[in-house]
Amino acid sequence: MPISKFEKRALNQINQLNEGLALSLFKFFFKAKVKKSLKGMANDPEFKATTDALDYHAKELKRQIKHFEKTYGKKPELWDI
């Protein structure tokens, strides 16, 4: 099915917006002040505890999803959002 001119223009604008957003985020994270603060956070025990807890909960969620799928079967209408 051929794409109309309107759809092509809309897709081009969306792609430009996505590229602009990604580039701005990339620039933000590589600023000197942000780099310095992220390095400082790596030594912070509270930040380490937070990231460890986040990792634990992510693994636990994956484990629970596997258990659910094993028990009830995979439900495509629930997982394919």
pLDDT digits (tens, 9 = 90+) for 10-65: 777 777 666 677 777 777 777 787 777 777 787 888 888 988 999 999 999 999 98
Residue 24: strand, helix, or coil: helix
Print the SS3 string covering 42-75.
HCCHHHHHHHHHHHHHHHHHHHHHHHHHHHHCCC
Stated pTM of the model = 0.45
Those residues whose C-beta lies under 8 Å from the C-beta of residue 47, and which sit 6 or more positions away, are 41
The CA-based angle 31-37-40, given to 5 degrees, is 140
Please report, for the chain, the start and end positions of each structural domain, with discontinuous segments joined by +: 1-30, 43-81
State the pLDDT confidence band at 76, using cuts at 50, 70 and 90. Answer: low
Vertex 78, ends 73 and 81: CA angle to 5°? Answer: 135
